[in-house]
Chains A and B, each alone.
Chain A
């Protein structure tokens, strides 16, 4: 897979949106509301991003967090 720093969802862009010491991984691939008929923002969990450079809260690994679909109850 190629280098992809220019991708709008690249880690540097996600990092720029949060304060220091905030665990921001995983993050959504876009800001679209996946279900406009439901109150509030409904994230689209079909694609998530993971980065080693994010601070880490808890003991679960960064990749493991998403590999059990534990963050995607709507799927």
Chain B
């Protein structure tokens, strides 16, 4: 089963996205703390990471770098309120496959994911 890590400090968004992905058959681990995300990436393996960018303490770009460093095969997607911003470009440069803009088009995200 495809394992997905969701990282977003917005509890409503992260829970709803988790619910949708679980309905589609994915195994989802969600966290609202980017610090916890780094810990999870250090000890667990994920096929996909979907992370917000603007978060306190550890920025989403750092999460992208940590995910790629932990497993280069991991697909990383970032979600940001700032379309085409410098941080989105930084995230893609750090290894993210694609940057999505909030509000997220869920169908577009699922189209990028491997089968559950």
A-B complex is real: no
Where the two chains meet, the residues of A that have a C-beta atom closer than 8 Å to any C-beta of B are none
